Structure 1
Amino acid sequence: MAMTAMTKTEAAAADFVLSPGARVGIVAGGGSLPVEVAQGLAAHGYPPFILLMEGEADRRQELLRYEHGSLALEQIGSLVATLKRHGITHVILAGEIRRRPRLTDIRLSLGLLAIVPSVIMALARGDDGLLKVVTRGLEKRGIKVVGAHEVVPELAAGEGTLTAAKPKQSDWRDIEAARLAAKAIGALDIGQAAIAIGGRAIALEGIEGTSGLLERARALRGHGRLAGKTRGVLVKCAKPGQELRADLPSIGPQTVEAAHAAGLAGIAVEAGRSLILEGPATLSRANALGLFIVGLPAGEPAHG
């Protein structure tokens, strides 16, 4: 079943959106996503230009093999000029940016001055508000922003059960409860994930991210209200109205390990709107630990 689900996703490569003359840049934050996007682009015949975000990109050795440059968050005003200097026509925002630029240290330019009020408002609104401002700002200046899942479609989660283990009927109740909770906090731009055990949401993702959420769930196993309850599910899904070209929900081998440590039975993500990083390793580890991974049809209720 895993092979069938992955093949559906890989078949989307036929819809590759880049024209032959495209020059793709990757604004690279932390984690494995920038590396996998770069490898996928190169395999498709589009060797990328990597713009490493200083203090954020942590897979430098794997990224430095491509043409590259670097930029501090406080130099964001020169982002467009830097990309245009290297002939970039399309850009992908990939990887984690853990801190926010200090507004007092931002080096202003005439172009940036025009959008500073929007940036300040976006910082107040949260992650997705800021991503939308950055995306619109780039596109107004002639650089098309594309999502990792659009140009490297094999990274997107396929639909259906992707592992040997399958959800039980009780797991589907947990999936639906966690999905509803994740959508609710997503609408407030708080997080993208929730955990349900015994048919009810017991933990929601906050600023600490999915790893912190799973650590809290692990600690909650000793809570009186969860005594004797087993299994449970982590659900990650895009926020309602989310800018899908950046910050899509993602899971990887570490997510699987942490879910297992928290005593969960599996993980559910939205098919086509979530990324499975280090896909073969992630599915292999889930199979070894007996966890299921399910790709849910986007926008539809979970069901058994």
Structure 2
Amino acid sequence: MPAPPSLPERATGRLCIIAGGGMLPHHVADAARLQGEDPFIIALTGEAGADWAGYDMRVMGIGDFSGISGLFRREGIDRVVLSGGVRRRPDWRDIRPTLKTLARVPAVLKTLISGGDDAVLKMAIDLIEASGARVVGVQEIVPDLLAEVGPLGQMEPGEEARRDIAAAAAAADALGALDVGQGAVAVGGRVVALEGPEGTDAMLGRVAELRASGRISQRRKGVLVKLCKPQQDLRADLPSVGPSTVAGAKAAGLAGIVIEAGRALVLERARMAAEADAAGVFILGAERHMLGSRP
């Protein structure tokens, strides 16, 4: 008689959330706590500005590998989630290596100077794991945040919006392959904005300004599409949307928002759906092959 399948290994140590800017780290921490975790928060210097009262936390720089490694040992941390935005790369003076990571310092500095965001994230993951913990994706800790296939709310895209979806998806896919950003906006079948380091909300602000100045048609609405980069490590920097995305889309005069199902995070799902319905904005989760971009 064959032996029964073995159960997945259960984590025995503590979870750490390395928190950048925005509210995503708070959503992850709260959801993890509801699942019985007691997350320790490393709030990144100059990035994580929100209040972490009620959580064990320490403010540290992402380049302080010596301090991070010591904290992992003291707190019994065996898993790490990277969450939230990082606006500034560490300066070379912020790098504090361990003996294990000392030999990697030249490669680290080269990546910080010339590498794209994805290259920097992969480097950070490698160095964190060299410090004694396993980096896991947000979706492993709080799978309920992942976008699902289909509309979120009552609104759905029409024929004109579907043409904009195809155009914006192709642009977002190409942009991601260049390791630049994850989002694009198309209006009337024409790409009018690409996401850069400033992030989605700022990009939508630019679209609103272009609309107000008459540079974009007042008659055609348009669509925002956010996709994972083709080469992206899914343990870090998944595209995310929330109520602020809906507000930005409404201000920009867009018809809707499309995100990649299973590879994007939806924050405050119920509130986002309600505000999208009130604004007349659709939110659609779709698999990549459905969008006209390459798989």
Q: For 1:201 and 1:185, locate their aligned partners in 2 and report how far apart those are by CA, in whole Å.
A: 12
Question: Displacement of 1:42 after TM fit?
Answer: 1.0
State whether residues 225 and 258 of structure 2, in contact with CA within 8 Å, keep that contact through their aligned partners in structure 1: yes
State whether residues 18 and 151 of structure 1, in contact with CA within 8 Å, keep that contact through their aligned partners in structure 2: no
Comparing 49-58 and 185-194, the one that deviates more: 49-58
Q: 1:183 aligns with which of 173, 180, 185?
A: 173
**CA 18–98 in structure 1, closer or farther in 2 if over 3 Å, else same:** farther
Q: For 2:194 and 2:213, locate their aligned partners in 1 and report how far apart those are by CA, in whole Å.
A: 16
Structure 2 partner of 1:40: 31
Residue 256 of structure 2 is aligned to residue 259 of structure 1: no
Q: Secondary structure at the match of 1:242?
A: coil
Q: 1:29 aligns with which of 16, 20, 35?
A: 20
Structure 2 partner of 1:298: 288
Residue 207 of structure 2 is aligned to residue 217 of structure 1: yes
Comparing 180-189 and 67-76, the one that deviates more: 67-76
Deviations 1:135-171 (A, max 9, x none): 1222344411111112101111111111111100111
Q: 1:58 aligns with which of 14, 28, 49?
A: 49
TM-score, length basis structure 2: 0.90
Structure 1 partner of 2:195: 205
Residue 85 of structure 2 is aligned to residue 91 of structure 1: no
Higher relative contact order (CA 8 A, sep 6+): 1
Q: Secondary structure at the match of 1:294?
A: strand
Question: Displacement of 1:208 after TM fit?
Answer: 1.6
Matched to 1:218, the amino acid is A
Runs of at least 4 residues of structure 1 off by over 4 A?
Answer: 222-225
Comparing 264-273 and 70-79, the one that deviates more: 70-79
Structure 2 partner of 1:5: none
Q: For 1:297 and 1:34, locate their aligned partners in 2 and report how far apart those are by CA, in whole Å.
A: 25
Question: Displacement of 1:282 after TM fit?
Answer: 1.5
Q: For 2:74 and 2:292, locate their aligned partners in 1 and report how far apart those are by CA, in whole Å.
A: 47
Structure 1 alignment gaps of length 5 or more: 1-16
Structure 2 partner of 1:280: 270
Matched to 2:31, the amino acid is G
Structure 2 alignment gaps of length 5 or more: 1-7
Q: For 1:42 and 1:226, locate their aligned partners in 2 and report how far apart those are by CA, in whole Å.
A: 45
TM-score, length basis structure 1: 0.88
State how 1:41-190 maps to structure 2 within 5 Å: 41-60=32-51, 63-123=52-112, 124-190=114-180
Q: Secondary structure at the match of 2:16?
A: strand
Q: Secondary structure at the match of 1:244?
A: coil
Matched to 1:285, the amino acid is E
Q: For 1:175 and 1:159, locate their aligned partners in 2 and report how far apart those are by CA, in whole Å.
A: 15
Identical pairs, percent: 45
Question: Displacement of 1:99 after TM fit?
Answer: 0.8
Deviations 1:181-228 (A, max 9, x none): 001011111111000011121111112211221111112225666334
**CA 176–109 in structure 1, closer or farther in 2 if over 3 Å, else same:** same
Aligned length: 285
Matched to 1:41, the amino acid is A
